[in-house]
Amino acid sequence: MKLRVEDMAIAFENKKILEHVSLQVAEGEFVALIGPSGCGKSTLLNILAGVLQAAEGCFYVDDEKVEGISSHFAYMPQSDLLLPWHTILENVTLYGRLHHAKKQAQQQALKEFATFGLAGYEHAYPKELSGGMRQRAAFLRTALCSADILLLDEPFGALDVITRNDMQDWLLTMRKELQKTTLLVTHDIDEALYLADRILILGGSPASIVKEINLHEVVKSRDWLFTQGEQRKEIYSLLRGESHA
């Protein structure tokens, strides 16, 4: 297994948020984590990224225990965290530049600017871009990072529905090229169904994984998504805490 989380728990101010959270993600697998607002999805990503420490449990990458910040993870938190004093090109190539591969990082990034709707903004500064464009730039920076596991927290949250769908389509086609193991946090049931090989539903209080939906064999398309009424209904009722079927 690429990533294995075992029996993780965390509390804030004596209130348990996550308890008995165990999950596994295989090499190259795309897993969506969905759950009601405030249940602890970002907290789980923060623990994996080394920003927070779990009170109980541990996690492993390639069967090696990970503690603190590790180079295995590229994390895209909800806030875009672009550096305001750097241009967009400098921001998206930040990791490449840190690893002294500036030229290669720039060539790779420039190829993707049009796909990300950022062409012409290579030398602009973050404050000159819309919120959606900044989010796309932050996503490009994460995707270009050499880490082997992407942690994406609502990467398309601030985008309008058309741009969001375009980015989802792009991500679906890019998955093979990216070759990254991915854990995506989303509120959007359709986004989870469309993008993920597997959906994990986080629920209860304190929260744990209450359901897993396997979509490995499915050939995804927007038409397929439109036919997923029953699946969508089941996930929706789980998110409302109506059943743990």
CB of 73 to ligand ATP, least distance (A): 17
Do residues 77 and 153 make contact, with C-beta atoms less than 8 angstroms apart?
yes
Report if residue 42 touches ligand ATP, rule: CB under 6 A.
Answer: yes
β-partners of residue 212 are: 200
Cβ nearer to ligand ATP, comparing 46 with 91 = 46
β-partners of residue 87 are: none
Cβ nearer to ligand ATP, comparing 45 with 144 = 45
Using CB under 6 A, which of the segments 31-39, 131-139, 189-197, 220-228 binds ligand ATP? Answer: 31-39
DSSP state of 154: S
The tokens of 104 are what? 């290669």
Using CB under 6 A, which of the segments 39-47, 59-67, 90-98, 105-113 binds ligand ATP? Answer: 39-47
β-partners of residue 73 are: 149
CB of 12 to ligand ATP, least distance (A): 3
Report if residue 12 touches ligand ATP, rule: CB under 6 A.
Answer: yes
Q: Which residue has the tokens 């927070």?
A: 52
Do residues 215 and 204 make contact, with C-beta atoms less than 8 angstroms apart?
no
Report if residue 14 touches ligand ATP, rule: CB under 6 A.
Answer: no
β-partners of residue 243 are: none
Cβ nearer to ligand ATP, comparing 92 with 239 = 239
Among 2, 40, 109, 118, binds ligand ATP (CB under 6 A): 40
Report if residue 41 touches ligand ATP, rule: CB under 6 A.
Answer: yes
CA-based nearest residue to 121, from 140, 104, 102, 103: 140
CB of 203 to ligand ATP, least distance (A): 10
Backbone angles phi, psi at 48, to 5 degrees: -65, -35
Taking residues 150 to 189 in sequence order and writing x for each that binds ligand ATP by CB under 6 A, - otherwise, the string is -------------------------------------x--
CB of 108 to ligand ATP, least distance (A): 31
CB of 214 to ligand ATP, least distance (A): 23
Q: Taking each helix axis from N to C terminus, what angle separates 161-178 and 131-144, rounded to the nearest 10 degrees? A: 10
Amino acid at 71: S
Among 23, 31, 35, 74, binds ligand ATP (CB under 6 A): 35
Cβ nearer to ligand ATP, comparing 77 with 96 = 77
Binding residues with ligand ATP: total (CB under 6 A): 11
Omega prior to 36 cis, within 30 of 0: no
CA-based nearest residue to 147, from 90, 71, 40, 38: 71
Instruction: Report the run of H or E that residue 230 belongs to, with start and end.
Output: helix 229-239
Q: Binding residues for ligand ATP, per CB under 6 A?
A: 12, 17, 35, 37-43, 187
